[in-house]
Amino acid sequence: MAQTLAQKVWERHVVHRAEGEPDLLYVDLHLVHEVTSPQAFDGLRVHGRAVRRPDLTVATMDHNVPTTDGPVTDRISATQMDALSRNAADFGITLFPMGAPGQGIVHVIGPEQGYTQPGMVIVCGDSHTSTHGAFGALAFGIGTSEVEHVLATQTLPQQPANTMAVNIEGDLPAGCSAKDIILAVINTIGTGGGVGHVIEYRGSAIRALSMEGRMTVCNMSIEGGARAGLVAPDETTFAYVEGRPHAPRGGDWERALEEWRTLPTDDSAVFDTEVDIDAAALRPFVSWGTNPAQSVTIDDVVPDPESFVDAGRREAAHRALTYMDLAPGTPIRDVRPDTIFIGSCTNSRMEDLRVAAEVVAGRRVAQGLRALVVPGSFAVKMQAEKEGLDRIFSDAGFEWRGAGCSMCLGMNPDTLNPGDRCASTSNRNFEGRQGRGGRTHLVSPAVAAATAIAGHFTTPGDLPAKEA
Amino acid sequence: MEPITVIEGTALPVDRSDVDTDQIIPSEYLKRIERTGFGPFLFGEWREDPNFIINDPRYAGASVLIAGANFGCGSSREHAPWAIEDAGFRVVIAPSFADIFRNNCTKVGVLPVELPAESVRALMDAALDDPETRIVVDLPNRRVTAPGLEESFPIDDYTAWRLVEGLDDIGLTLRQEKKITSYEATREAWLPTA
Ligand code: SF4
C-alpha cells in the first residue's frame, strides 16, 4: 500500500503491535535536558532500573543556563543542572554541560552534531522536538513519564496519528522567510488545527528552503497542535548531514543514502487532511496576541476582536489585546517594542544570524531599545565569531551572548519585565512566556533586526538606505 | 498511579479556550526536581488576580476541572498535569485537548474527558451558577452525569484499562523485552550513537 513519509518511518520502528494496543515504537535517539528529566531519573532509581541504551541518549543543558559569563547564581537552577550532571554520570550518558563545546539548545545541537538523520525516531522531553523532522525523522515531544519510559526501555507506545499534508507552492517573495511560512500555516490551521496529526510540509517553497529554514518550519509544528512535522529528505538534507561528527561514513554513507532515498511519500499515498498555501502571496508576519495563531502581516493593523465570528476566538482576542495593551486598528508598523530577542531553537542558527547581521551592519539599534542576540549553540557562537558577526552586532548596539534558550522562556536570568514589549524570533507568545507580564510579538530574524534599528515594526526593505 | 474508576465531586470552571501549559504552570516554577508540590502554583499568574475563579472559596475542594477547547496546548511539561493532580483534580473536561497534555494526563492518573462543546458549555454554566453542582465521571462506563446532563465520552480501550487498573506503562512494556532485543539486532550499524 502507498505510504507517506511519516508512515514509512513509523512502520520501520514497530517493535510490538497488537490489536487494541498502541504500537510500541523503537527510539533511535533520545535527547535529554535538565528541566524535564530529573523526575524520570528518580523514577528509574526508585524501581532499580538502568538506562537501556545510554549510547542512544544525549543530554545537554539549555533552559536554565545563563548566557553571560560567570557562575549560575540562581540556586534552584543550579540544583537542576547539578541533578543532570549527576544523573548523566550515574547512568553513563553523554552530556554537553554548560560552557562545553557541543553544548547548546537541544534542538540545535542534534542536527549540528549529525545525530539527527533521516528516517529516525527521535524523542525529547520538549515539545519542539519536531524541529528534527526537517530531516525526514519522526520526532515527538514527550512528557517526563515518557522520558522515564524511553530511558528504561528505549521504546515508546504511540497511539496512531493522522497524516496532514501542508502544501506550500510557489516562490517566497523577497523579505519573507521560513518563519513567515510557519506563522502563516499556524494562522491558517489555528493552534489546534494539527491535533492528532503528523504534518508533512511539501511543495516547491519547502524544497527551496535550506535545512535551517526547514528546521524553523518544523520547529513550530506544535504551535499548530501537531504531534510532529516533517519534510522529505532530499539532496539538500544529505549535503547537510554528510561529514558531520556522527554521520555515517564511507560504505555506511552509501548504504544510508540508499535507505534514505526510499523514505519520501509515495506518489499515490493519501493524506487524511490537506492544506494549501500560496507562498508567493506571503508577507512577513507579526503576532499581535497571546497565541501563535493570533498574527497578521506587517502591512496590517491590529484586528478588532468583534470581527471574529466565533465567540471563543472573539473572547480570546479581547483578552489578548488587554494583555498586550494594543488598540484595535493600530497599524502594526506603529507598534514600538522596547526589547529585541534574536535566538531560540526556532531562529538561532547561522543562517538566522547572518540575515540579522546583514540588516544591522553599519546601523545602530534605536535609542532606548534593549537588543539581544543569543546563538543556539556553542558551535554557532564560534562560527559566528569566526565570521565577525559578533562585532557587527556589538557595534550596532546588540548584546552578544552565550548559547542557550535565554529569553525564549522565563527560566534563566534573561527575562522581560512586566509590561515590556518584545519583538522575538522565538516560537511562543503566551502570556508571561518571556517573563511575568512580558508581551511577545513573534517575528522572523529579518523583521526583528529591522525593528531593532527602526524602533517600530518594520522590514529590512523599508529601512532608510545605509550611509555609504 | 492511583487507579481511576468513578470520580464524583464539584467542579472548577475555567471558562477560557487555548489554555496553554505556560498558564497552567509558569516556567519559573519548573525548577523543582521533585514530582510533587506543584499544586499551589497551578495557574500561577492568573491566580494573582483575586477575581480569578480559583481564588473563589466556594470552589475549594473541586475534583473536576472544566475548561475551553484545546486545553493544555504548548509545552510538553508534565508539570502541568502534576500541578492539576496536586491541586486535587482527578478529571479535566474540555471540548478538546492538546495531544501531549492529554497523553501526560493518562500517565499521571488524571482523566481527560472530551465532550461536545455544547455539553462542556452546559457543565461550565451549571458550575458557574452553582458551585455545589456535582458531577459524576464513570470511567468504566465512560459516562458523565450531572443535573440535566448525561453524556458518554470517548477513550481508547487500552488507556481506559490502564487508568482503571492504575498500571505503570514501563512494567507493561518490559513484558515485550524479547521483542525489543530482537528489534535491536535488526538496526542498521550506521545509525548514530552518542
Ligand atoms: S529555545 Fe525555547 S522553545 Fe526551544 S527548547 Fe529552549 S525553551 Fe524550548
Question: Is B185 within 8 Å of chain A by CB?
Answer: no
* A60 confidence band (pLDDT: 50, 70, 90): very high
Nearest chain A residue to B106 by CA distance is A145
Distance between CA A241 and CA A253 in Å, rounded?
10
Distance between CA A417 and CA A429 in Å, rounded?
15
pTM score: 0.96
Candidate from A57, A145, A247 with C-beta closest to B78: A145
Task: Please name the residues in contact with A132: beta carbons below 8 A apart, sequence gap of 6 or more.
Answer: A107, A110, A111, A116, A120, A122, A139, A215, A218
Distance between CA A10 and CA B55 in Å, rounded?
46
At A231 the three-state DSSP class reads coil
Q: Which pLDDT belongs to residue A99? A: 82
- Kindly report the nearest CA distance between residue B145 and chain A, in angstroms: 25
Q: Residue A138: exposed, middle, or buried by beta-carbon count in 10 A (0-12, 13-18, 19+)?
A: buried
Contact call for B68 and A312, based on CB within 8 A: yes
Give the strand pairing for B134-138 and B6-14: antiparallel
- Closest by CA to A112, choosing from A154, A63, A60, is A60
pLDDT over 90 at A419, yes or no? yes
Distance between CA A327 and CA B15 in Å, rounded?
24
DSSP labels for B171-191?
A: HHHHTTHHHHHHHHHHS-TTS
The answer to whether the CB of A124 is under 6 A from ligand 1 is: no
Report ipTM for this prediction: 0.94
Q: Which pLDDT belongs to residue B61? A: 96
CB B160 within 8 A of CB B106: no
Question: Is B137 within 8 Å of chain A by CB?
Answer: no
- Per-residue pLDDT tens for A312-346? 899 999 999 999 999 999 999 999 999 999 999 99
Q: Residue B122: exposed, middle, or buried by beta-carbon count in 10 A (0-12, 13-18, 19+)?
A: middle
Residues in chain A within 8 Å Cβ distance of B16: 315-316, 319
Phi, psi for A53 (deg, rounded to 5) = -130, 75
194 residues of chain B, pLDDT tens digit each: 889 999 999 999 999 999 999 999 999 899 889 999 999 999 999 999 999 999 999 999 999 999 999 999 999 999 999 999 999 999 999 999 999 999 999 999 999 999 999 999 999 999 999 999 999 999 999 999 999 999 999 999 999 999 999 988 999 999 999 999 999 999 999 999 99
Contact call for B18 and A191, based on CB within 8 A: yes
Q: What is the number of the ligand 1 atom nearest to the C-alpha of A62?
A: 6
Contact call for B16 and A83, based on CB within 8 A: no
- Closest by CA to B102, choosing from A153, A161, A217, A432, is A161
Distance between CA A390 and CA A280 in Å, rounded?
33
Phi, psi for B74 (deg, rounded to 5) = 95, -140
- Closest by CA to A218, choosing from A372, A317, A349, is A349
Q: Which pLDDT belongs to residue B182? A: 98
Query: For residue B108, how far is its CA from the centre of ligand 1 (angstroms)?
Result: 24
Q: Which pLDDT belongs to residue A312? A: 86
Helical (H) or strand (E) element with A124: strand A121-124
* A98 confidence band (pLDDT: 50, 70, 90): confident
At A274 the three-state DSSP class reads strand
- Per-residue pLDDT tens for A362-374? 999 999 999 999 9
Contact call for B194 and A55, based on CB within 8 A: yes
Our separate counts of H helices and E strands in chain B read 7, 7
Question: Is A185 within 8 Å of chain B by CB?
Answer: no
- Per-residue pLDDT tens for A352-398? 999 999 999 999 999 999 999 999 999 999 999 999 999 999 999 99
The answer to whether the CB of A223 is under 6 A from ligand 1 is: no
CA dihedral A393, A398, A399, A401 (to 10 degrees): -50
- Per-residue pLDDT tens for A107-163? 999 999 999 999 999 999 999 999 999 999 999 999 999 999 999 999 999 999 999
Residues in chain B within 8 Å Cβ distance of A411: 27-28, 30-31
Location of C-alpha cell 487524511: A272
Query: For residue B116, how far is its CA from the centre of ligand 1 (angstroms)?
Result: 33
Q: Which pLDDT belongs to residue A468? A: 61
What is Dmax (Cα atoms) for chain B?
Answer: 63
pLDDT averaged over chain A? Answer: 96
- Closest by CA to A182, choosing from A159, A149, A206, is A206
Question: Is A26 within 8 Å of chain B by CB?
Answer: yes
